[in-house]
Chains A and B, each alone.
Chain A
Amino acid sequence: MSEAADACATPGEPTSDLAEHVADPAAASAALDSLAQGSSGTPALRPDRELIVRFRGVGKAFRLYDQKPFLLRNLLRRIVGGRSKPKEFWPLRDITFDIARRETVGVIGQNGSGKSTLLRLMAGAAYPTTGHIAVRGRVAPLLALGAGFQPDMSGRECVQVNGTALGLSPEEIESRMDAIVSFAELAGFIDAPVRYYSSGMLARLGFAVAVHTSPDLLLIDEVLAVGDHSFQQKCIARIHEIQQAGTTILFVSHDAHAVQTLCNRVLWLRDGSLHRDGPPGPIIQEYLQATH
């Protein structure tokens, strides 16, 4: 108990990675656990690596209704009709993996295989129906670009709102504003209302904010399809830089080539379960063969 209180009282206390590791034998044991499960396709995690995400038997169910489950009609039906439980749809079932710090993990799978649900669960924008998720550090979810943009706001205000929602402090937003504007190539337009922006300008602004947050864990959901070719190259280059700086990245994409070049580990989701987990080369090859 006192240990928890101490941890609570001095959360930002600087400790070296090594000290952190020694002080946290649980991380080591968890890593050893996944070492033991190596046979099921889980890559051998070196026990000296710091964990940042842990999924244990995670499943997510959505109930299928014609309408919302709570409406009077449905409630009455349930009480009077005594019908069986509504059908459930499980986009994810029994997912177990660990992600260590500084890994770049690609998530591949066909449409409807549960990739986006996995990211939403990791971000905390959805809660699991079964299992246990543990995440630490600052998470920046790029689930969709430009959340919180409103047509009447100026570009600058959008950056402030969006940056805040992504977890930046006011000082951080202020100090990054120029870099964001020049990255988005919107220098002359930043104080105009975003209703006058083209869709490409909006997407660039959203992406620029997202890549200028400094998260511990960056979640990217198929957002690279914005802008022209040169802007896409710029985005990829920026993600490389973020990766070099030591940020853990989870990258969902249909683009096998991008996954291959960026990631050092791949999760292949198939029909809501974790089909393969390991280094990108062989898995992507197998994936391409299976899907074509």
Chain B
Amino acid sequence: MPDTLPHQLARQHSVPLPSLWVHRTPRSTFYARLDADSPTDYSHRETLIETLRRGLRSALSGAADGQGAGWFHVLAVLVRTDFRARYRGQALGIVWSVLYPLVMMSIMSFIFTHVFQSTDRNFPIFLLIGLICWQWITNSTTAATSVIVSHADIIKRTIFPRHLLPMAIVFSYGINFCIEAMTLLLFIPIFPHAFTLSPALLLVPVFLFVLALLLTGIALITSGLNVIYRDVAYLVNTGLLILYWLTPVLYNDDRIPYPYRLVIQANPFSGLIVALRRAIMEGHVPSHLGWAGILLPTLVIFVVGWLVFRSYERMVLDYV
């Protein structure tokens, strides 16, 4: 056969096998050398620090234990596939995702200025920022909730890191978000006073990264749970509807009287959207308290999501 390239078919004899083994037991999965006959006897299981180091090192270069490609690459392929699949066979493709917030903004602006007699001239921009953020939140959470169920075959038959699937959904809708955000640039000449050029704009990528982290945490929780209880998809839809009105997308949270305002501020999306909007429109940097209100819930949700997904992963594999 002319295409036979034996050196490509298999790793050479001379390549040593990794010294770290993957150990799977009913209770845990861990990396260690093979130095005992019982999983309870392992003197040097990997510590948390070592796990994190291995994870970081394997991001680009391929896993240290020889298992698979670097997870960063896997994530990139999943994001690209999901993004392309969404617009395949459509004439307008990505235009749809830009059109939706613009139409929504026009309707809402009309209602608020002409029906409710709002006097804020920059209201359309205020709305648009909130709406494209919310579109990212709601689309990625809805899609990520069902991603494990809809990718059952790839989950059961290959061994790539499964938590990357919900993550990929969040990032592929992140691409949508970025494209939609470009429309904001078109509005700069129309609403010049709605934008403030200030160092606070440098914080925008930080807010977006935090939002992605928050969405990933939520996606990890809902995607795993959805395998076990298919009700979760409905619960998520209802929850998002409630959250939509508890998040200052259509209104400004300054207007809400105090005891109720706390309810709105308890919602981690509120802090992020308000901070993002104020950074763009007013050049305002959040206070220490504001930062804490954004970062703490995000970290908690991300860590909880990670742990929930890890503990459900075993069950998910049997029930998906």
Are A214 and B26 in contact, with the CB atoms below 8 A? no
Are B26 and A147 in contact, with the CB atoms below 8 A? no
Residue from the set B9, B69, B229 with the largest chain A CB neighbour count within 10 Å: B9
- Whether B214 is near chain A, meaning CB under 8 Å from some CB there, is no
Partner of B73, one of A70, A170, A212, A241: A170
Are A1 and B6 in contact, with the CB atoms below 8 A? no
Binary flags per residue of A1-20, CB closer than 8 Å to B gives 1, else 0: 10111011001101111001
Binary flags per residue of B256-283, CB closer than 8 Å to A gives 1, else 0: 0000000000000000000000000000
Interface members, chain B 24-82 (any A CB < 8 Å): 24-26, 29, 31-39, 43-46, 50, 53-54, 62, 64-70, 73-74, 77-78, 81
Which listed segment binds B: A126-134, A255-263, A271-279? Answer: A126-134
Q: Cβ of A175: which chain B residues have Cβ within 8 Å of it? A: 8
Q: What size tier do the contact residues of chain A reach?
A: 35 or more
Given contacts A138-B68, A170-B73, A242-B9, contact A26 B229 (CB under 8 A): no
Bound: A20/B1 CA distance, A: 35
Q: Cβ of A169: which chain B residues have Cβ within 8 Å of it? A: 62, 69-70, 73
Are A241 and B159 in contact, with the CB atoms below 8 A? no
- Whether B237 is near chain A, meaning CB under 8 Å from some CB there, is no
Tell me, rounded to whole Å, the shortest Cβ–Cβ distance linking B126 to chain A: 38
- Whether A50 is near chain B, meaning CB under 8 Å from some CB there, is yes
Are B81 and A161 in contact, with the CB atoms below 8 A? yes
- Whether B19 is near chain A, meaning CB under 8 Å from some CB there, is yes
Are A56 and B21 in contact, with the CB atoms below 8 A? no
- Whether B5 is near chain A, meaning CB under 8 Å from some CB there, is yes
Are B44 and A101 in contact, with the CB atoms below 8 A? no
Query: When A and B form their complex, what is the total count of cross-chain residue pairs whose Cβ atoms lie within 8 Å?
Result: 228
Main secondary structure of the interface of B (DSSP, over half): loop
Binary flags per residue of A117-145, CB closer than 8 Å to B gives 1, else 0: 00011011111111111111111010110
Interface members, chain A 208-261 (any B CB < 8 Å): 211-212, 214-216, 234, 237-238, 241-242, 244-247
- Whether B156 is near chain A, meaning CB under 8 Å from some CB there, is yes
The interface of chain B, by Cβ under 8 A from chain A, is: 1, 3-26, 29, 31-39, 43-46, 50, 53-54, 62, 64-70, 73-74, 77-78, 81, 84-85, 88-89, 151, 153-160, 228-229, 314, 317-319
Contacts A214-B11, A242-B10 aside, 20 further interface pairs with beta carbons under 8 A come to A24-B19, A24-B34, A124-B22, A125-B155, A128-B25, A131-B26, A134-B22, A134-B24, A136-B19, A136-B22, A138-B68, A143-B158, A147-B154, A153-B81, A161-B78, A164-B77, A165-B160, A179-B3, A214-B8, A245-B9
